[in-house]
Amino acid sequence: MITAHRLRVPGAHLYLETRGAGPALLLLPGAGGDAAALDPLADALAATFTVITHDPRGYSRSTLDGPHTEQRVSVHADDALRLLDTVSPHEPAYVAGASSGAIVTLDLLARHPERVRAAVAHEPPSWSVLPDAAVHLALFQEVYDTLGTAGLAAAGERFLRGVGPVLL
């Protein structure tokens, strides 16, 4: 059974879902993902865990209090901490994130290790450690610039074209 919640955080109202029973497991989606993107995985893990999923601030059912602004990993990690404090206030939780959610997972782990029992960071986009880092970082700058001039859909399209046909 899925239970939907709303959580007031500074600057936003987060939509979250919990399902299952057992130790807390927070699943963090990649950029543009939301709770629904993780439904199949959450359903499979709910027999063993209390699975927590959410729509990151500004996505899907999580609303911002003001206009959309640049978002930082630390803000998303703070939101993740608030989710854990709400659903599992007295016990550390398992945390798993994919793509940009993996970077949020790592930030949460670095700043709040006492709240994380174990972490999985699946495919964090750590382009700066690659031999051709300048090429990748230039792509991300172009995506960011496109977001400012042409909007989210155009920036998403530019990102997908830039990372290759595997994702198309």
List the domains of the chain with CATH numbers.
2-125 (3.40.50.1820), 129-168 (no CATH)
Per-residue pLDDT reduced to its tens digit, 68-125: 777 789 999 999 999 999 999 999 999 999 999 999 999 999 999 999 999 999 988 8
Structure token pair of residue 78: 């703070």
> Hey, what are 128's tokens?
């700066």
- Supply the pTM of this predicted model: 0.85
Beta strand ranges found along 31-147 (DSSP E): 50-55, 63-64, 93-98, 116-122
**Residue type present at position 142:** E
Short-list 138, 143, 83, CA closest to 116: 83
Point out the least confidently predicted range of 5-9, 101-105, 126-130, 136-140.
126-130
Q: What is the DSSP letter of 62?
A: P
Quick one: CA dihedral 112, 137, 60, 167, positive or negative? negative
- The residues facing 14 across adjacent strands are 7
